[in-house]
Amino acid sequence: MEKELRATIKQFILASVYETPVAVKQDTFWQSLRNTGTELWLDTGDMEEAARNWSAEMTALTTNNTLLNAEIQKGIYDGLINRARELVKDFPLSDQVVEIAFILNGIHGLRLAQRFGGFVSVELHTDTAHDLEAIYKYGMRYADICPEQFIIKVPFTATGLLGARRLHEKGVRINFTLEFSARQNLLVTAIAQPDYTNVFLGRIGAYIRDNKLGSGEGAGERSVMASQQWVRKMAVQYGTKTRLIAASLRNARQLESLAGTDVFTMPVKVVETGRATLSGNFKSMVQEKYAADLNERAMGCHLEKLWEVDEKELMLVRDLADEMPCCGSALTEIATKAGCGDLFPSMSPEDLAIIAADGKIPVHERWENRLRSGELAVDTLLSLAGLASFTHDQSQLDQRIASIIS
């Protein structure tokens, strides 16, 4: 795309947003939680939901492909889609759709930034997940729209790690997303060195519970606390400044049990329930070692990889600290040779189709033999499922755009 057209699209986005800032009030309940060391982010793309729950103690909002799709499907941007088409009408239809999706994401993120005054996480189109140049190109373009407030979300793939590092080196704020384990977060902190990395803890418990491997209680919390310790160790050892997000809390109790974690992303339901039911007497729990409730069926499936880091993974991080791979396939090869191939396993198109069909929570019995053999791991399986789920929602968004412009 020519430089002039990129500049025109940027100006179109900036000219499309006129938001009046909300009146912000302080809240001692949330200040008590902030005092434990936890930064508070609101996990919603809904402007009115955010307005009802935003307080002075909150510093950011986070969106993703799913949350943005929910807003687009309301029809509130249909007229804008038609206007945006005029900018890209000379492109092939598929390229028009991707570019208009970029415009919509930029506009909605900018509306949130202007109205609430905090940082806003904006997520890349899922088509970029394995495309190093596209991650860099679109990441830089998002950052250029609102450099003071946008944080760019890049998903956990081998290519994503390298793309995020390249953006980080250009001074772009990065929220590296779709992680589920301490070892993934160790790798992210070492390679990508983003501003933020994540544990999607609710899906860990759901995987265990839905697949009858135990109640799931404590498993997500254990992965968060283990990840937090490793992220902080990396800060001491390598001078990294990555902070850990306990992502998309599932219930209000977790506001207490995970207090002291670097960052919470809090869905509206958790915010409202917590504010209504908890005492507000928070204390840091980052030294707590939660037990994961697993049963005999889980034994031998290596769920401990969600919270343990072994020597092979530490050696991989040390090796990568000395020499950065040139591309995702090179990183995958290095990890495999180091005995860490389950971080980036080889998956056939049929495998990926099954994962996509199952949704956010994979069906354990389909993968049990490969989990037991060590060819595959639960954290990687959940990352693949998360990306597939985002891809599904991105596809719905794209289909709405295509139906309007075609």
Cα–Cα distances (Å) from 166 to 129, 162, 172, 208, 246, in that order, read 14, 6, 9, 35, 25
Would the pTM count as exceeding 0.85? Answer: yes
pLDDT at 273: 98
pLDDT per position as a tens digit, 43-80:
999 999 999 999 999 999 999 999 999 999 999 999 99
CATH number of the domain to which 112 belongs = 3.20.20.70
pLDDT at 321: 77
pLDDT per position as a tens digit, 4-16:
999 999 999 999 9
Domains of the chain: total:
1
Mean pLDDT of 140-149: 97
pLDDT at 76: 96
> By residue range, what is the domain housing residue 237?
3-405
Confidence at 312, pLDDT banded by 50, 70, 90:
very high
